Structure 1
């Protein structure tokens, strides 16, 4: 979904019967997800996400990502997914942080 910009295919393959969305910019449900990310793909062609780390526990997975948006800011992102008993995504949370040009430390975001 992230790099191929194929939200419908991703939903069909990886999402369960329900899809609960916590991002305030995206409505609940599969069709709302598809519509939002089809629009994002059209508005930001070439957007790339680099996965820096993945953390899993029980039915939850957290992805720490570097998102590169053409003609926009780059972001450090965290996506949290809850999976059902069949290993399909049924719930999502995320947070994004603009990557600033300066930092008070040399540690980096990743």
Structure 2
């Protein structure tokens, strides 16, 4: 698989899971193992599926925009803008950085991430994107 293929697959995987079909995302894009580094998500594919199923239930109208992707060796990084609409009508915006490691078959086998809520005020005029 090429670096471009890995970038496209990382985006497709994340988008499919984020938009409500994490089980199909795992079936299509994940290899024989799945190592999870997010402390809020259980290790393995079932932990990933459970997390995204819960997110779909709690935030059914959430959206994601893929701002950029970077690939090097067996790693892909995604920089996203996420908007979550809460049950009380509030809107929360987040910037995320996700890193995926691919195996030699082009399947995702490891994940790291960092998420930060976008503040209403900033000490500088720059966006988080």
Q: TM-score, normalised by structure 2?
A: 0.82
Tell me which residue corresponds to 2:63: 48
Matches within 5 A, 1:49-68: 49-68=64-83
Matches within 5 A, 1:30-49: 30-49=45-64
Is 1:85 matched with 2:100? no
How many residues align? The count is 110
How big is the shift at 1:4?
2.3
Q: CA RMSD in A?
A: 1.0
How big is the shift at 1:31?
1.2
Q: TM-score, normalised by structure 1?
A: 0.95
Contact 2:17 2:23 in 1 (8 A): no
Unaligned runs of 5+ in 1: none
Instruction: Name whichever structure is richer in helix by fraction.
Output: 2
The list of structure 1 runs, each at least 4 consecutive aligned residues, that deviate by more than 3 angstroms after superposition, is none
User: What secondary structure is seen at the aligned counterpart in 1 of 2:23?
Assistant: helix
Unaligned runs of 5+ in 2: 1-15
Tell me which residue corresponds to 2:24: 9
